[in-house]
Amino acid sequence: GQQVMQIPQYQHVQEGEDFTTYCNSSTTLSNIQWYKQRPGGHPVFLIQLVKSGEVKKQKRLTFQFGEAKKNSSLHITATQTTDVGTYFCAVTGGGNKLTFGTGTQLKVEL
Amino acid sequence: EAQVTQNPRYLITVTGKKLTVTCSQNMNHEYMSWYRQDPGLGLRQIYYSMNVEVTDKGDVPEGYKVSRKEKRNFPLILESPSPNQTSLYFCASSFFGPQGGYGYTFGSGTRLTVV
């Protein structure tokens, strides 16, 4: 099935520092979704990217889809403790499967 | 409130004892899916359903069954649970599935332990 690599696996930052997580695929993607899962919680949909080179912003979060539609990134500016959690990308595979990356766990220290 | 409801939230059972985890959504979503989440492996899709009476295998379907007799319900059945099915399970739903442009709404999860 469709596979996507997500890096890094873990990231510790000081509050106020920036954070970026990356998803990479060996094949061209039709779209990519991003989710956030707080500790002990369930994944929550953040956004979907569809167009080549697309950039979308949600407050301090910036989502980018690569020109070749094989990679994507999520960047958080000036992290806050409320940003703690695991961030997943998810891509569409054959037969309407939605395959998730392994996630990046973000910890924010005061 | 629009939501996906899973029950139970926690379950401890013994090997071989059949169990069902229920999932219900009130958003009239066509697409429903089950995932399991294990440390280091992320979320892996078990089964999904595009609509009533239409189900398909995900990436890890072995040992699981599903049914979609009504649009709102999508139960996950473990006929003979084994310890390697100890995991955190999530049900999710959306309009039209991953190609439809809508994100998934997830339930709160069911933590299953098989001893």
Tell me, what's the pLDDT at A68? 96
Q: Provide, as residue numbers in chain B, all residues whose Cβ is less than 8 Å from the Cβ of A48.
A: 101-103
pLDDT band at A1 (very low <50, low <70, confident <90, very high): low
**CA-based nearest residue in chain A for residue B90:** A42
Quick: pLDDT tens for A65-100. 999 999 999 999 999 999 999 999 999 876 678 899
Which of A43, A96, A97 is the closest to B106 by Cβ?
A: A43
Chain A residue set in contact with B, beta carbons under 8 Å:
1, 6, 30-31, 33, 35, 41-48, 50, 88, 90, 92, 95-103
Whether pLDDT at A110 is above 70: yes
Question: Would the CB atoms of B103 and A45 count as touching at under 8 Å?
Answer: yes
Exposure class string for A5-30: b at 16+ Cβ within 10 A, else e: ebeeeebeeeeeeebebbbbbeeebe
The reported pLDDT for the residue numbered A92 is: 83
Q: What is the pLDDT of residue A2?
A: 66
Chain A and chain B share a number of CB contacts under 8 A equal to 68
Strands A104-109 and A10-14: parallel
Q: Are B60 and A100 spatial neighbours (Cβ–Cβ below 8 Å)?
A: no
Strand, helix or coil for residue A85:
strand
Q: Which of B31, B42, B56 sits opposite A88 (nearest CB)?
A: B42
Residue with tokens 């990134």: A73
